[in-house]
Amino acid sequence: MASEVLAQGGALSVPTVSGGGKVKLFLVALVIVAIAEAIGNVSIPMGAGKIVLLPLLWALLIGGALGLLSPRLPGPLRLTGAHQAAAASYLQPALLIFIAKLGLLVGGSLPKILASGWALVFQEFGHFFGTMVFGLPVALLLGIKREAIGATFSVGREPSLAIIGERYGMDSPEGRGVLAEYLTGTVFGAVFIALLAGLLASLNLFNPLALAMGAGVGSGSMMAAASGAIAAQQTPEVAKEVATFAAASNLVTTTIGTYFTLFLSLPFTIWAYGRLEPILGRNRRNPAAEVATGEAVKAPDHREAPIGFAETLVAWILIGAYGLIGNWLTYGVFPDRSVILGMGIILGTVVAGWLIYLLCGRKLPAVLWVSIIGMALTYPGTPYAAEVAALTGKLNFLALATPILAFAGLSVARDVPAFRRLGWRIVVVSFMANAGTFLGAALIAQFFLHPPL
Mind listing the pLDDT tens digit for each residue in 268-282? 999 999 999 898 877
Query: How far is CA 115 from each of CA 111, 118, 121, 230, 250, rounded to the nearest angstrom?
Result: 6, 9, 12, 21, 18
pLDDT-derived band at 286 (thresholds 50, 70, 90) equals: low
Q: Are 304 and 88 in contact (CB under 8 A)?
A: yes
Mean pLDDT of 176-203: 87
**pLDDT for residue 207 is more than 70:** yes
pLDDT-derived band at 2 (thresholds 50, 70, 90) equals: very low
Give the whole-number percent of the chain exceeding pLDDT 70.
89
> What is the predicted pLDDT for the residue at 11?
39
Domain ranges of the chain: 17-72+81-449
Q: What is the C-alpha separation between 414 and 80, in angstroms, rounded? A: 9
How many angstroms from the chain centroid is the CA of residue 203? 24
Give the orientation angle of helix 173-184 with respect to helix 424-449, to 10 degrees.
70
> What is the predicted pLDDT for the residue at 289?
56
Mean pLDDT of 331-345: 95
Query: How far is CA 243 from each of CA 100, 224, 232, 260, rounded to the nearest angstrom?
Result: 12, 9, 11, 24
> What is the predicted pLDDT for the residue at 283?
63
Mean pLDDT of 426-438: 90
Least confident of 185-199, 243-257, 391-405, 412-426: 412-426
**pLDDT for residue 6 is more than 70:** no
> What is the predicted pLDDT for the residue at 70?
86
Mean pLDDT of 426-442: 91
> What is the predicted pLDDT for the residue at 83?
85
pLDDT-derived band at 288 (thresholds 50, 70, 90) equals: low
**pLDDT for residue 1 is more than 50:** no
Residue closest to 405 by CA, chosen among 245, 223, 246, 218: 223
Mean pLDDT of 231-258: 87
**pLDDT for residue 316 is more than 50:** yes
Least confident of 280-294, 337-351, 407-421, 427-441: 280-294
**Alpha helix segments (H runs only) across 360-423:** 366-378, 385-392, 397-411, 416-420
pLDDT-derived band at 336 (thresholds 50, 70, 90) equals: very high
Q: Are 45 and 378 in contact (CB under 8 A)?
A: no
Q: What is the C-alpha separation between 17 and 63, in angstroms, rounded? A: 18
Residue type, 189: G
Give the whole-number percent of the chain exceeding pLDDT 90.
43
> What is the predicted pLDDT for the residue at 10?
37
> What is the predicted pLDDT for the residue at 298?
56
DSSP letter (8 states) at residue 298: P
* pLDDT tens string 140-171: 998 888 889 999 998 877 678 778 877 887 67
**Alpha helix segments (H runs only) across 44-157:** 55-69, 81-89, 91-115, 118-141, 147-152
* pLDDT tens string 294-315: 455 555 555 556 678 889 999 9
Strand pairing of 49-53 and 42-46? antiparallel
> What is the predicted pLDDT for the residue at 294?
47
Residue closest to 379 by CA, chosen among 98, 100, 103: 103
* pLDDT tens string 90-117: 888 888 998 899 889 888 888 877 777 6
Mean pLDDT of 56-85: 86
Mean predicted lDDT score pLDDT of the chain: 84
**pLDDT for residue 440 is more than 50:** yes
Residue type, 143: G
Mean pLDDT of 225-253: 90
> What is the predicted pLDDT for the residue at 85?
84
**pLDDT for residue 433 is more than 50:** yes
* pLDDT tens string 8-55: 333 345 567 778 888 999 999 999 999 999 998 888 887 777 888 889
